[in-house]
Amino acid sequence: MSEETRIEDQAVNAYLRLLEVPKRTGRRLTVEQLDERIKTATEPVARIELIQQRMDLLTIQANQEAEEAVTEAFVKYAPGFIARKNITYGAWREMGVPPEMLARIGYGRVKAEPTGEKRTRHQRTPEFYAEVYRVFQAAGAGPDAYQAVAQHFGYQPGYVPAVIAKAVDAHQVATGNA
């Protein structure tokens, strides 16, 4: 295993572990607010609880800086990991990676450029089916060819819409190549 591969694996693993940590919810006090409450607390038990809350808050703030570093490492190394392991968009989403993060690493769903006209789904015309099958055959007609067809029609790697797969299958049945 090369050094680059090892670093990619570690960056992705660290980010995925970060996603498993439950996020803190509720009202968040600042260190200054806690310091003020500590000064005004009259009971020793209340004061020690506030001191502990302040210490916990400082730890959380330090962890947030570490989380930012882990996220930046993921952004830097995930594209190489994806290319090497061929992990699909759906698998990343099922693991809990937000779509915004996937878009940040260049692995988001493709959006059409605004052209002023309403975007419609692929028209299921004979020409569309023929173009799909032509690209499929040119790509070697194997499992990876579906990816090539999807990319030809503007989809991101790892995502093959059902219309592409159905078009290939329909053309193969119609031409007797199934």
pLDDT, tens digit, 9 for 90 and up, residues 93-129: 888 888 888 888 877 654 444 444 444 455 566 676 6
Cα atoms in the 13 Å half-sphere on the side-chain side of 104: 13
Higher pLDDT, 178 or 11: 11
pLDDT at 79 over 70: yes
Higher pLDDT, 80 or 154: 80
Note the pLDDT tens digit of each residue in 152-167: 766 666 666 666 666 7
Q: How far apart are the C-alpha atoms of 31 and 58, rounded to whole Å?
A: 8
The pLDDT value given to residue 158: 64
| Sign, Cα dihedral of 76, 143, 122, 120 | negative
**Tokens in use for 66?**
């570490």
Q: Which residue has the tokens 């099958």?
A: 133
Read off the pLDDT band of 39 (50, 70, 90): very high
The pLDDT value given to residue 91: 85
Q: How far apart are the C-alpha atoms of 69 and 111, rounded to whole Å?
A: 29
| Percentage of residues in the chain having pLDDT higher than 70 | 68
End-to-end Cα, the chain, rounded Å: 40
Mean pLDDT of 139-161: 69
74, 71, 78, 163: which is closest to 125 by C-alpha? 163
Q: How far apart are the C-alpha atoms of 62 and 55, rounded to whole Å?
A: 11
Residues 6+ apart with CB under 8 A from 97: 15, 16, 19
Alpha helices in 23-88 (DSSP H): 31-40, 44-85
Read off the pLDDT band of 145 (50, 70, 90): confident
Q: How far apart are the C-alpha atoms of 125 and 96, rounded to whole Å?
A: 37
The pLDDT value given to residue 26: 65
Q: How far apart are the C-alpha atoms of 24 and 167, rounded to whole Å?
A: 47
pTM, rounded to two decimals = 0.47
Higher pLDDT, 127 or 44: 44
